[in-house]
Amino acid sequence: KDLGLQITLAFERLLDAFLSVVPAALVLLTATLVGVLTGLLLRTLLRLALRLRRKARGDEPSSSRQILRAAGLKADPERVVGTVSFWTAVVVALAVGVNALEPGALRDVLSEAVAFLPRLLGAVLLAIVGLGVGALVRRSVLLGAVNAGLPWARAGARAAYVLVVTSFVAAALDHLGVGRSILVA
């Protein structure tokens, strides 16, 4: 009889705990949905504005397009801006939604995951910039070495590219908190 009562009380506590999380989970879900919808709207508006600006300027190539091409990215600036704005809105909405959760392990884990996202996005941005700078350095070294008639032009250009990209990847890892001593070494 005592065991049955304990089991019943345990299930009641479990049900109470579950029911206390449901409203906060609904707030998190609603905030995420609002973030996605806001991100889609923001992405659409920014893409439209940039396309209208490009049409108003005519056929002259934009500097942002040239920078993206030099960095080795084939995407249009409209697409890059739209994607960044979408994911920014989603991350902000997730941060708001996670703050609505009741204190506890779930909130702590989700808070840490959401807090990690900006660092992750920053590290990805560092890596992408590193690829772009590496491509520019590779072209510059290759052109300079070829014009100087050096036999090691391609190898030197590749070595310069690897050195620059490695430095930026190390900075990205340091930004993530992985291998903090890499830059010192």
pLDDT digit string (tens) for 82-135? Answer: 888 888 888 878 777 777 666 665 566 666 777 777 888 888 888 888 888 888
Q: Which residue in 75, 82, 80 sits closest to 46, CA to CA?
A: 82
Residue-level pLDDT at 162: 93
Over residues 14-24, mean pLDDT:
73
With a CB cutoff of 8 Å and minimum separation 6, the contacts of 167 are 130
pLDDT in tens, 30-72: 888 888 898 889 888 888 888 887 777 776 666 666 666 666 6
- What are the residues whose beta carbons fall under 8 Å from the beta carbon of 60, sequence distance 6 or more? none
Q: Phi first, then psi: what are they for 16, rounded to 5°?
A: -60, -45
Picking from 28, 5, 161, 179, the residue whose alpha carbon sits closest to that of residue 93 is 28
Categorize the per-residue pLDDT at 158 as very low, low, confident or very high, splitting at 50, 70 and 90.
very high
Assessment of whether the complete model's pTM goes beyond 0.85: no
Token pair in block for residue 61: 């190539």
